[in-house]
Structure 1
């Protein structure tokens, strides 16, 4: 409420007033010293004499007086008191903020008294103000004090303001010069004025300040209302004259700025050379020190000591150059801070007025006619004229840059933006210009208003210029709002196909040479392709899929743009059902694929089947043509989304195959298996036989020593694990969906034909087996054909395959399998009778009993069981020992001697002979196997 802000410090800046302030400070210092000495005397008297009540009151009075004078002296020194918004209670204690706040309260509440006391004839009495303040602080503000003030005022009313009465002879009653009635009434009239009125009256006594210099009048040269034809030559002449002034001034400012920069660079280079530390040598004489208890030194004389040290030395030449450098910098700095000349300012104002006038003329036309079209062309001419003014000099001078930008923007918004007849010219100008021109041109490019053919032509022209002008092309590409344009224009399918081809060709060409500058353009193309795919989906589904497959095989992936395009394709295909993200793990991906297959309605069953055929054909062709080391090194970052797409189509096809198949029910399972095998074989299977023979000659020449071409290399196992894992999950889903189709038997046969070979290396089998073991093999109900496959694989020397077959074998419930076979075959008693009656004929017929299903089952089972029991990985499983125990109840008597002897001989050659001995450390598996 009581703001003490002031500009009094300005008053004391002059020489005379500054001396006046020093006198005031000296007076306070003198008074403070005097009263401090008086207070010290009182303290000494108090210690010597008895404590008198009156003396104590005097001491308290002097203490308050000293504190008050000290605070007032600090007020004169503290400049913070003049600041606006000062919070007085927050001041330090030595400034006595409470007392200072009380002064302003008194000035506000008792202004009638203080106005009379402090202002006499319009003059401020500082000494009286100090007296009143001291009296107030020491004795308190009371009615008695105010009575004293009024008495003092009565005396002052009849005294001269500059010479207060010093004796009774100078009082009003003894002075004949103060009895003049006119002067008395004049002073009474001043006393009746308020403090603010007195201050205003005092200020009016000074001479009036001089008025500011008149501004030159700027006459508006062009009328905003068009009343006569445009004088084109006159306007262009004025514009050239004004712009020359602006450009010339910008050039001078930029030149001086460069000179300042060069001056600073020279200063920085010279500064380290100002001082040097040369090595200095000095000879010092060291006197001989006498021994203890000896007055004379026993030596031949003082020693000469050479002291070597680094001495700081000023380089006078460098100092002179630095001083000259700073003088030069100072002159350049003074030039740079000078305001532009009036001619330059007038030129800027006239240019803005000219632009606003032309824009106003154009807005005044309500209908299209020749005159309006002529004005439009003229406005575009002015626009390009302003654009050409852009240079290094004008860009370095912010006022000129702002002027050119604002004028060009106003003209561009009025004469180019939204005008379909100039967009072709505008885009060509942008592509031919430098980036500094493009910043002014590109904001006014509006392709949405152009016809479809022009839109497509302009869009196609950008692709070949991205590598040379990525920033400009990005600004132009951002103007092509593809989603809105497709929705508004309703273009034909052939035109959309043309646009898709253009986008994919540009993506393919840019990804092979992409860098940080073109990545933003690639992302825009990605957004545009996604907009076309979303438009009337799945109208362009197959077309974009084909293009994506071509892009993936022809170019590298910079910034994961291609991978993100694949995920856009996946998420558009699965829209409304699920969403795929790069950071999803295998379990999340598999769950999302199952949800998609069960809920998707966008793709028809026929489209799903066609997609599988398309993918199978493409990948097989790629594997044959370029797959010396498989497809994984060719697709790299695209492997994961491609595998997800194959999984989506596989799961969906398994559920919808019955809707598109022309085969009978019993042949449907084989058809599904054939299509799935064709889809995945290029990714998981080695190429041999006819497939290898169809490879290019250069591949055959490089692989003369190989019978098959492996699907991946030893050092690349991460991506193959994803593909094989999805393949295994697909077959498991196939098995669960069609449990009657013997999917596991078909897989076992496929494994035997494709992977059970010595040409297939361990790095392939390791990945394959780890994924295929996740299939529920315990559901397998093996037939004799399956057992024969087991036996053929076991009989060959394929250690990795033996381990895989063994782990499958022990998961099967063989007790149920044997019971199933025996229930469909003659009983064991009948077989035994037949054996007794026809022993001779049977032996002559080559052990004919093994031709029965049960006998074949036990012969094959015996061979497989014995051989599998010797596999280390199988022996470590807890399923083998229970299987051997349950096998004791099988019909082993149906096994003929020849087959038994073959198995026994192999066992004897392979086992540890010590298992025949009853030792404490015998493995229970060996004991059960012998039994």
Structure 2
């Protein structure tokens, strides 16, 4: 079923194999201790085989990588991490999804897990540091691992038998001889065994690192077992190349009946068996050759039996998989057999159910009916809650208002009135605050007064040994003493209380209506300019010009005194003036009249006064500016004259002639 799901996902308009693989892996690994359940491992093994076939191994590896980090305590709480550390220090093997040294039943799953753990070993820099200690300081693997733990300060470091060079070695021993991944697993081992890390640490190219990991008696025995295993695998493929049906050595009895039945009618090509025989013999030579470990071998001079070209790639750490040795046809054949088996089961189930009058659970057409019948056994669900209509916080700008001058001005005046009232309120608060401060300043000098006082002091006389005193001396002192005026003090207290209340009121955020009005005006101007840039229609320009002068009408002393409204009105007038007024012939005279009528707006409006845009009125406008000159408005006249642009006017006149 799962294989069919993956197959269908790769069809046109399918979600793709990666999504299906991730889904099933997440489903299967969501249960507790899933890596100890044989049924789950069987399904995961087939998923990993499908991922290999569709070149989607990364999607499974990233999920297993995260689970591996969680299992090691990288994302757990401190208590769990402490227990894991104590568990490891007690001598237990680091947790892994492939328990024991290897897995001979689920090789595809083991391949995926070991590749994931290799990535983890590289990411944590554990392999680099361990190899460095072995090469530079000539330590034993145990000592190098402890040194790496101290240097990298990793929360958890794998136990020695979990180093990847040993993991690949044990998995190579356990993998059946006829398994498609057998040559790739051996390749992974030799990439680590024949790795030359010298240049990585600034040392000359020296021997391979492998023997440094296999110095103890147990590890030497492991190397011997690997040699013997390679000889057995070579013998197996030699016999298979003669088109003889043979059982895989040591694993033949472990093969499942399903696998035997699926592959019973399939024979691997004799050429592939011969290539695998040659490859196994090459591996034996690589294991036996001591000169590789010493670094005194000239690779190109090796005999043909050593496959010098492939050996050089291994020593250069080239990670490209040797797919030419993988029995891809067998993988495709087994995948197709699984699809055919599922289709056969579906057909037989459907036929049996129809003949017996039973419910056909494999029929997708009847699935809806079964679901509805099951739902009728439960209470009718409650209807959804009534939908509450939400009012938009800011009114939406209608398209009609953008081209209707009357509607636009009427709409904007409502918002501008609110903003102007807010500015006047703020100005009133400011005036009240100034008045209260002035009153406080005027009242403080009256808080204390000097009043004339008189006190009498009694000065005792102690006398001398010969003469006595007639009594204490009475001294009367007159002075002016400081006295607080309680009435004034109460008045100051009341004034300060009013100031605090006024400050609290003034520092409150503006009301929601003020904010809505400001946002509405800004939205209207933005929409107006955006549509004008796309469709520069005269009607839209008239709306923009009218809105510009409407905003100017609302500029007053209060709006200029209040910083927020001053900034808001200035920004709106600036953008409207730049887009709609500046350079518009028909608005030069009107703009000049507005400035001359209200001189305090000169600084705000003069940047958009461009009389050169109206050559026919230029002289008249110039005369009006000059005639307006007086002692108290010379700055205004000067600012307007700078906008006349006489040079541009004369250039324009000469071009027209």
TM-score for the superposition, normalised by structure 1 = 0.28
Larger radius of gyration: 1
Higher relative contact order (CA 8 A, sep 6+): 2
